[in-house]
Structure 1
Amino acid sequence: MFLKRTFSFDAAHRLIHYHGKCEALHGHTYRLAVTLRGETDREGMILDFVELKAIVNEKVLSRLDHAYLNDLLEQPTAEYIARWIWGELETPLARPNCRLHEIEVWETASSSVILRREDMEPGRVS
């Protein structure tokens, strides 16, 4: 079973290794979806939505919302933002009954990146 919750944050960045409009300072209202895969626990939940929200707020949104992403990542593409978020959430969300399965980051309403657990496996080309 999968459990998903979406979030949003506003941030600015510039893509210094890109040649085009996005190399200039600009901002986005990003959307983030965090998906867990697991089995229900004794309470009938994979993870309480309230607990998921608290962890994402503490580990991710408190650092990304209204931030200049280049202070955190040299080349803050949606791809690198998704990898960074994975690294921040994988351990705090691990439970005996579930674990992080997927991160999706939308840079615009029509453009997103999806990072799945299998993409993070050693030796995997991604």
Structure 2
Amino acid sequence: MFVIRKFKFDAAHNLESYKGKCERLHGHTYRLVVIVEGIPDSEGMIIDFVELKDIVKREVIDILDHSYINEIIKQPTAENIAIWIWQRLEEKLKRGNCHLYEIQVWETEDSGVIYRGEKIERRSE
């Protein structure tokens, strides 16, 4: 079973290792989806929605909202933002009955990434 919580934050960034218009400073209203997988506990919950909201707000939203993300994450692509968020949340959401399953980071309504904690090896071309 999965618990899903959606969030929004506004932030600016630029992609320094990119050739194109996104190398210039610009902003997004990001949408973040956090999915926790687990088994309901004795209270019938995988994780309390309020607790999940508080953790994500403290560990992610309060840091990234209205920020210049380049000061926090090197080359802040949606992919790198998703990895950074995963690293901030994975241990905080690990319980006997549940764990972080998936992070979705949406830069626009129709462009986003999904990350499930896989080890990523960068390719150089």
- Fold equivalence (TM over 0.5): yes
- Which amino acid in structure 2 is aligned with residue 21 of structure 1? K
Aligned residues: 122
Aligned to 2:37: 37
Q: Deviations over 1:55-76 (max 9, x none)?
A: 0000000100000000011200
Task: Give me the TM-score of the superposition, normalised by structure 2.
Answer: 0.94
Q: How many angstroms apart in 2 are the aligned matches of 1:77 and 1:89?
A: 18
What is the percentage of aligned positions where both structures have the same residue?
Answer: 58
Displacement after TM superposition at 1:125 (Å): 5.0
Q: Secondary structure at the match of 1:87?
A: helix
Aligned to 1:91: 91
- Which amino acid in structure 2 is aligned with residue 77 of structure 1? T
Q: Secondary structure at the match of 1:15?
A: coil
Aligned to 2:82: 82
TM alignment of 1:40-119, pairs within 5 A: 40-117=40-117, 119=118
Q: Deviations over 1:12-61 (max 9, x none)?
A: 00000000000000000000000011000000000000000000000000
**RMSD, matched Cα:** 1.1
Q: Secondary structure at the match of 1:93?
A: coil
Q: Secondary structure at the match of 1:92?
A: coil
In structure 2, list runs of 5 or more residues that go unmatched.
none
Q: After TM superposition, where is structure 1 displaced by more than 6 Å over at least 4 residues in a row?
A: none
Q: Secondary structure at the match of 2:17?
A: coil
In structure 1, list runs of 5 or more residues that go unmatched.
none
Q: How many angstroms apart in 1 are the aligned matches of 2:94 and 2:116?
A: 15
Aligned to 1:6: 6
Q: Deviations over 1:94-114 (max 9, x none)?
A: 110000000000000000100
Q: How many angstroms apart in 2 are the aligned matches of 1:56 and 1:18?
A: 29
